[in-house]
Structure 1
Amino acid sequence: MTLNQEQLFEIKAFIEKKGFTYIDVQMEILDHIASLVEEKLNANPNLSFADAAAETYKSFGITGLHNTSNEIISSINKRYSRYFWKNFTSLFGFRYILISCFLVFAAYKMLAFIGKDDFYKFNIICMLVTTVGGLFAGFLIKDYKKYLSFKSGISFLSFLMSGLFFTNLLINKVPASITVFSLNAWQVAAAGSAVLFAVYFISAFKTAKTGLNESKSIIEKYKILYA
């Protein structure tokens, strides 16, 4: 037996009363409960929906649903973490290692041309742009904050400022006069951190995009319940 829309609404209302914040987590719980209710109704056709639902709710116990919620949240967070690190490490794989080395070399030469002070100013500008861009983007996508998939997907973007700060720290701490194997130490450090930051940004952006697309898919899938 498949539950109808009205019955799904009743389960949804029950879940919302439990205080679960994220819509996609609610939907995972709803799917789980609905499947259990359907199993009970199929096993006993004489059982009413209300009784089947009540038995299912009772079977979770006092903290059962919250345990289920925590498992779902952990699963979603781990999935996006794996996706991010897969993207990040892939950019240092055999296919991209030569490109990465070339970018470090190009950044090193560029730093020699523009100088330490100008690069520091450029980094400060990047920090300001990142801050303003983050605030603006947060305003545009506020409706997606109800979805854990989206929140987990964009979580890595929040560390971009830390990357820029780390690059600034290298610029300030490494003296411009030190050389290693005839290479300027601060240029090597700054070039390496700049390329690392770029790789991180690409990986974080791809992860955020995946989270956004998955949230859109969830919205489309459950638009009847959350219209």
Structure 2
Amino acid sequence: MRVLLVEDEQRLVATLRDGLRTAGIDMDHARTGREGLAAALDGDHDLMILDIGLPDQEGFTVLRRLRAAGSDLPVIILTARTSAEDTVRGLERGADDYMPKPFSFDELLARIRLRARAREAAPEDPTVRVGRCALDPVTRSLTCDGEPVALSPRELQLAQLLMEHADRVVTRAEALDAVWGSASRDNVLDVYVRYLRTRLGADAIETVRGVGYRFHG
């Protein structure tokens, strides 16, 4: 198990590193919110412990940007800011837990293990993520940069096809057959790609001349 600690108090960093090592947990450390967000989005951690009072930005901002990027990394806020308003603010922005300083290391360790078990037991996330966009096929919803994008059923179907095969070019014939059926008119695909570019941005979908389209997000 690997934990990311985003904290600028060096004495606390050393204490937590020693305690977690003894518990068999590896710990990486980031001193600023910018460093912490970049490390969290690398996807190599099982949980983040996040301070609110960071040198460059509030931990609340880090948390908001993390969730906007589509990350479901469990986050435990560990902070001296203990007001009910701050607690609610943290939880509403996507924190999984909120612990005040000073704290019991044994309690923190128990909460870390609890969050790790909950994540392992959770069903696999069906969300398709490409670039800045995330599509949930269960709720049939699309977000880009954390903001919902309103699409018609046919637009969503085309977006899902392109996103699920973003590692390659989707041919025109393949898209027409999958979304409209083999008897569809060829130009309908161009029309709907234009609709998607209007909503997602001109660079979201690349045209590969003579072949088809590739989704970049």
Please give the range of the TM-score, normalised by the shorter of the 2 chains.
0.3 to 0.5
TM-score when normalising by structure 1:
0.31
More helix by share: 1
TM-score when normalising by structure 2:
0.32
More strand by share: 2
Larger radius of gyration: 1
Greater relative contact order, per chain length (Cα 8 Å cut-off, separation 6+): 1
